[in-house]
Amino acid sequence: MSYEIFTNQVFPEEELFDDSIEPDIAYEAIKSYLIDEGNSRQNLATFCQTYMDERVVKLMSETLAKNAIDKSEYPRTAQIESYCVNILADLWYTKEDFIGTSTVGSSEACMLGGMAMKFRWRKLAKEKGIDVLKQKPNLVISSGYQVCWEKFGVYWDVELREVPIDSKHLSMDTDRVLDYVDEYTIGIVGILGITYTGKFDDIEKLDQKVERYNKENNANLVIHIDGASGAMFTPFVDPELKWDFRLKNVVSINTSGHKYGLVYPGIGWILWRDKEYLPEELIFDVSYLGGTVPTIAINFSRSASQIIAQYYNFLQLGRKGYEEIHGTTREVAMYLAREVEKLDLFDMYNDGDNIPIVCYSLKENLNLNWNLYDLSDRLLMKGWQIPAYPLPVNMDNVIIQRMVCRADLSQPMAEEMIGDLKEAIKELNEHKVISPKDKKVQGFIH
Ligand SMILES: Cc1ncc(COP(=O)(O)O)c(C=O)c1O
Please report how many Cα atoms fall inside a 13 Å half-sphere around the Cα of residue 437, on the Cβ side: 0
Closest CA relative to residue 88, chosen from 281, 265, 313, 285: 313
59-314 and 328-430 in the same fold: no
Please state which CATH class domain 59-314 belongs to. alpha beta
Instruction: Dump pLDDT digits (tens) for 65-97.
Output: 999 998 888 999 999 999 999 999 999 999 889
pLDDT of residue 72: 85
Of 128-137, 162-171, 300-309, 354-363, the one with minimum mean pLDDT is 162-171
Domains of the chain by residue range: 1-37, 59-314, 328-430
What's the Cα-to-Cα distance from 89 to each of 110, 175, 262, rounded to whole Å? 17, 30, 18
291: left (phi over 0), alpha (psi -120 to 50) or beta: left
106 lines ligand 1 (CB under 6 A): yes
Q: Return the sign of the alpha-carbon dihedral for residues 12, 15, 17, 23.
A: positive
Find how far residue 200's CA is from the centre of its chain: 13
- In this prediction the pTM is 0.94
357 lines ligand 1 (CB under 6 A): no
pLDDT of residue 10: 82
Counting beta carbons within 10 angstroms of the beta carbon of residue 316, is it exposed (0 to 12), middle (13 to 18) or buried (19 or more)? exposed
Ligand 1 pocket: which of 49, 112, 148 to mutate (most atoms within 8 A of CB): 148
Please answer whether residues 329 and 321 qualify as being in contact, where contact means their C-beta atoms are separated by less than 8 angstroms: no
Atom index in ligand 1 nearest the CA of residue 227 equals 1
Counting beta carbons within 10 angstroms of the beta carbon of residue 408, is it exposed (0 to 12), middle (13 to 18) or buried (19 or more)? middle
Q: Comparing 129 with 431, which gets the higher pLDDT?
A: 129
**For residue 184, is pLDDT > 90?**
yes
pLDDT of residue 71: 87
Please answer whether residues 377 and 425 qualify as being in contact, where contact means their C-beta atoms are separated by less than 8 angstroms: no
146 lines ligand 1 (CB under 6 A): yes
Instruction: Dump pLDDT digits (tens) for 33-75.
Output: 898 887 888 999 999 999 999 999 999 999 999 999 988 889 9
189 lines ligand 1 (CB under 6 A): no
Residues in the chain: 446
Residue closest by Cα to atom 16 of ligand 1: 195
Q: How far apart are CA 194 and CA 359, in angstroms?
A: 12
Fold topology of 328-430: Aspartate Aminotransferase, domain 1 (3.90.1150)
Please answer whether residues 274 and 98 qualify as being in contact, where contact means their C-beta atoms are separated by less than 8 angstroms: yes
